[in-house]
Amino acid sequence: MAKTSRTFLEFDTSSRELFAQLAKSLAGPSGETPKNKDVFFIAMAWGHQHGVKAKSIKKSGTGVRIEYLKDEDRALIAAIHLAECGNLDELLEEDKGFELAELFAEGGIRLLAEEMKNPGQFGEAFAAEIATQARGLAEVEA
């Protein structure tokens, strides 16, 4: 695998505030907000699940530090990368997977931002869709 020279999975300059708003919306009962990495992965998965990715992003120089990614984080990015390109050899190009992750995260955060405009309904709708997805996964595993 080609070693990346990247430092971040970056947020778009115009969506940094949207990621912060999503983190606040997902705060638990204690008020603790999810980490940037968790919010990024939620947006990325949401974008991929709904087939929405940005054409490009204007990199902000901030986001999720690559050094903080765990093996399972990299595996999720690789799974999305493979689903999109269908070529195992391309997985050797980790930077391409990172770019794809950023594009889906941007698409996902834009979708979630629209849903967050109805704050009372956002939590319920988000939880309902996550529960539906979890049931679907449980059926696949059974």
Q: Average of pLDDT values for 86-105?
A: 91
- Rounded distance between C-alpha atoms, residue 114 and residue 38, angstroms: 19
pLDDT at 28: 73
More confident residue, 137 or 57: 57
Task: Work out the percent of the chain whose per-residue pLDDT is above 90.
Answer: 37
Question: Do the Cβ atoms of 66 and 9 come closer than 8 Å?
Answer: yes
Token pair belonging to 10: 């970056």
* Residue 47: C-alpha distances to residues 30, 41, 92 (Å): 28, 10, 23
pLDDT at 107: 95
Domain ranges for the chain: 8-117
If you average pLDDT over every residue of the chain, what do you get?
Answer: 84
pLDDT digits (tens, 9 = 90+) for 67-95: 999 999 999 999 999 999 988 888 888 88
Question: Do the Cβ atoms of 77 and 48 come closer than 8 Å?
Answer: no
